[in-house]
Structure 1
Amino acid sequence: MSSYKQIFTIILLKFIKVSIILKHIFTNSAGILVSRILGFLRDLLTASILGANIYSDIFFVAFKLPNLFRRIFAEGAFTQVFIPAYAKNNHKVSFSTIIFLQFLAFIMLLSFIVTIFSSFFTKVIAIGFSQDMVVLASPLVAICFYYLPLIFVVTFLAALLQYKNHFTTTAFSTALLNISLIGSLLLSQNLESSQIVYYMSWGVVVGGVLQVLVHLYAIRKLNIKFFTTNIKKKKRDIKQSKFYKQFYPAVFGSSASHIAAFLDTWLASFLLSGSISYLYYANRVFQLPLALFAIATSVALFPTIAKSIKNNDEKKALQYLRKAFFILLGLLGLATFIGIVFDEFIVYLLFERGAFESSDTTQTAIVLTMYLVGLLPFGLAKIFSLWLYSHEKQGLAAKITMYSLSWNIVLSLVLIKPYGIVGLALASSLSGFVLFHLTLKEFGYAKFIGLLKNKL
């Protein structure tokens, strides 16, 4: 009888542990869903008010660079390196203070440099822009870039909250950026397009400030101490150098799809006016299932896998990975099928109104289909990369990403001439298959087959 009780107790404990992980996944997914719904409402208004033209192009270019950094920070690199380092450090408050001040000082300096040399950075982001377009876009690039220091503060505070298993604030706070941008569009909808993009740029900054405030409130409510002025005596004992050795490779290793999208924008600046906007709108739809399922799962799963690896319990880590794989395979597969079959209807439903015409819908739908080809490999690579990060193989993950991006560049250059923006989107998706193959290769194909057959 006692053996039945023991079995029941073990099953109950496992169910509780899985339920906690699922709760974190659903919390992240719910927050992402709310944010993306508001994001689509924002894009709907943007498409209706601005359409797909020179002014929408220059705003998307201005917002591209800080948004790229936001995705790299918030969806990977910083959190994946900071949480394990923070957990192992004996002087947590001093460690967090040093990292916070060093990062913030560097990012603020970078922001000032971008402000001063905004024309140069605009040319780097959109090298195909004419001089007139660079002049129009440069002030917006300078304004939008101040979102970066704000989002670093958000990401730093979010990592501390995740360490305490608090995911709600971060999951739902991204909606504040979209609310701010929606507000700026509604306030400026009767103005000239050249003025609307300024309202939107300042809306980006206001959204960042709101995100910082709600995170500070959550930190205070949970009584998490993260800053101290007494670090001089302890600084020698705090080894932040290892953190940076892991962080720099992690930046590349966790951002393949985002850097690929950035490269698409860079190359699309050579094409016809509106091309950047088509890529942007299509990528926004593509990013929804990627964020809703793959990123939400990886954020919630990473602390559990990292702790299991740390405790030399690889079997437990593999079991969680197996469940996540089959869940994602089903969800992303279904999203890919629906997206490709109903591509034009989805774009029509979301964007075709006002200045966004039927020809814009057709172009965006074709680009969306090409992006969706890579949804499964990008999403599945995301969770298997957690295995590398948990084993502190950020350098290896970075090499894999660089190989993938190299293929993306080569394929983009090959496909852009005959197929234009459609070729760019397809090249991005094909590089996702390279990323998935190389990630699985390092994970181990034999281990992967065993995982599929549940022989762990």
Structure 2
Amino acid sequence: MFKNIFTNSFGILFSRILGFARDLLTASVLGANVYSDIFFIAFKLPNLFRRIFAEGAFTQAFIPAFTRSKNKAVFSIHIFSTFFLVIALLTLAVNLFPEAATVAIAVGFEKETITLAAPYVAINFFYLPLIFAVTFLSTFLQYRHHFATTAFATGLLNIALIAALLLSKEESDATIVTYLSYGVVAGGLLQLFVHLAAVKRLGLNRLLFGGVKYFKVKALRIKEETRNFNRQFFPAIWGNSTAQFSAFLDTWLASFLATGVISYMYYSNRIFQLPLALFAIATSIALFPRVSRYLKNGKHTEALAYMHKAFWFLAFILTFSTLGGFVLGEEITWLLFERGAFSREDTLNTSAILQMYMLGLLPFGLNKLLLLWLFARQQQMKAAKIATLTLGTNILFSLLLITPLGGVGLALASTISGFIGFFATARTFSRQEFLAIISLKKTVILLLSSAVFTLFLLFAKELIHAYI
């Protein structure tokens, strides 16, 4: 288990280091202004779908259905062709009506800003069909317990964006955003290429070709399997994507606030997403195929044993990450972003939002793991109901807190919804199942070690300020 987790984590770390280099360069070149807001808005919707598809939601709906299918090749091609067609039509619609799509993402923008942003929204949306194809291919690799290609491939997007920034850094802000938008598409093409190469190297291309070859002959045999998948897919997508929809909601509401708030929320959320992806998402991706197979074969005890190990691994590492991000939020933001066009005021605004996001790291991360259990047991509808409760909580508190606290209030609302989601998911476990995961001894150790670590962080904070 831990070998696959560390493979994922190392790949994600490689990608996120490049991502921070990209964000550092973006902050330095663009700062936090109307054009940085425009780019983050333009990239928001395709990036939302990337996270939904690539960070487990599609996989956790597809792999159980694929595992149970008696006609795997034909079933796979049918699912791919159906979804790709829908996404291609959606991309076409966005390119035909880019201003309408921009309004849907950032309804608070003024008309002039919407007109400026619309062409970039259209360009960025071409990333969506590319990343869906990448995600589809990655499910085959994960089924064969090959995680490295997908984990490292995201770095190619960051490399393309860094190249775009370096090529355009002396140009106008509008030109820089144009380069960045085409860089997004180039990154998608690079990711698709390396996944195709990995699929061919593992011999999985024969499965895909077989699905195309025998599709007409065997299409009727997968009718019931497809119907079952469709019943499970949308609840699975909804149930596993609360954090992504919450972040999208934050951006949507932030468009009503002062210029720069969207950028502050973007930069702070990027820091928050690092430990979430590095540990929680990496763990759930690595664990899911094995837990699904154990439960399918009736090995309930073995599946719970893996959940126990993963739960406490995440509990410790996410708690320490939360404390580090909250206590040293200002110092982390200063180190990463405060240079060039990114001012001291930008650092203070970003770090305040970051602290509120970090408080939700533990519940969001543990909930990601617990949802895995529901998906492996094909209880997607339960997960969807929990997601609805969580998102409803987020909307309620966002509306309550946005006026008095601005962007900080939106981040705090997201954290509150994370706790609600975690407790709701935990309640779906039976008493016996949950007790098999929880350990009183480890809880005491976690609390004591957290107190010691907090003291260390406070000392480090004083030390940092003494020397800068």
When normalised by structure 1's length, the TM-score is 0.94
- The corresponding residue for 1:426 is 412
Identify the residue that residue 22 of structure 1 maps to in structure 2: 2
Could you tell me whether the CA contact under 8 Å between 2:64 and 2:378 is conserved in 1? Answer: no
Shift of 1:450: 3.9
Equivalent in 127, 148, 155 of residue 175 of structure 1: 155
CA drift of 1:230 comes to 2.6
1:77 aligns with 2:61: no
- Which residue is equivalent to 1:407? 393
Once residues 325 and 110 of structure 2 are traced to their aligned partners in structure 1, the CA distance between those partners, rounded to angstroms, is 35
| Residue equivalent to 2:293 | 307
Larger CA deviation: 233-242 vs 125-134: 233-242
* Residue matched to 1:165: 145
How far apart in 1 are the matches of 2:435 and 2:74? 44
Which residue number corresponds to residue 383 of structure 2? 397
Find the counterpart in structure 1 of residue 14 from structure 2. Answer: 34
- 1:414-439 deviations in whole A, cap 9, x for unaligned? 00010000000000000000000100
1:112 aligns with 2:92: yes
Q: What is the deviation of 1:453?
A: 3.7
Give the aligned partner of residue 217 of structure 2: 233
Separation of aligned partners in 2, 1:428 and 1:332: 17
1:448 Cα offset (Å): 1.8
* Runs of 4+ more than 6 Å apart: none
Please give the per-residue CA displacement for 1:152-210, whole angstroms capped at 9, x wherever unaligned. 00000000011111111001000000000000000000000011000000000000000
2:307 is aligned, of 303, 306, 321, to 321
Farther-moved stretch of structure 1 (223-232 vs 150-159): 223-232
State the distance in 2 between where 1:377 and 1:130 align: 36
The residue that corresponds to 1:64 in the other structure is: 44
Between the aligned partners of 1:453 and 1:367, the Cα distance in structure 2 is 33
Shift of 1:356: 0.3
Alignment equivalent of 2:358, drawn from 360, 365, 372: 372
What whole-Å deviation, never above 9, does each CA across 1:355-407 have from its counterpart, x for those lacking one?
A: 00000000000000000010000000010111100110111101100100000
Identity %: 55
* Alignment-derived partner of residue 249 in structure 2: 263
Task: Give ranges in structure 1 of 5+ residues lacking alignment.
Answer: 1-20
Distance 1:278 1:257 in 2: 18
Structure 2 contact 308–436 (Cα < 8 Å) conserved:
no
Three-state SS of the structure 1 residue aligned to 2:259 is coil
1:232-311 mapped onto 2 (5 Å cutoff): 232-238=216-222, 239-311=225-297
Find the aligned partners of 1:152 and 1:158 in 2 and give their Cα distance: 10
Equivalents in 2 of 1:70, 1:351: separation in Å? 25
CA distance in 1, matches of 2:370, 2:213: 39
TM-score of the superposed pair, with normalisation by structure 2: 0.92
Give the conservation status (yes or no) of the 8 Å contact 2:304–2:436.
no
Are 1:210 and 2:190 counterparts?
yes
SS in 2 for 1:240: helix
Deviation by residue 1:113-160 (Cα, 9 ceiling, x = unmatched): 011111011011001000010001000110001100000000000000
Amino acid at match of 2:221: D
Report the count of equivalent residues.
435
Tell me the distance in 1 between the aligned counterparts of 2:335 and 2:422.
32
Alignment correspondent of 1:141:
121
Distance in 2 (alpha carbons) for counterparts of 1:402 and 1:207: 33
Equivalent residue number for residue 201 of structure 1: 181
Q: Partner letter of residue 34 of structure 1?
A: F
**1:214 is aligned with what amino acid?**
V
1:349 is aligned to 2:335 = yes
Pick from 127, 131, 134 the counterpart of residue 154 of structure 1: 134
Q: Distance in 1 between matches of 2:358 and 2:319?
A: 10
The whole-number CA distance in structure 2 between the counterparts of 1:27 and 1:337 is 25
Question: 1:84 and 1:331 mapped to 2: Cα distance?
Answer: 29
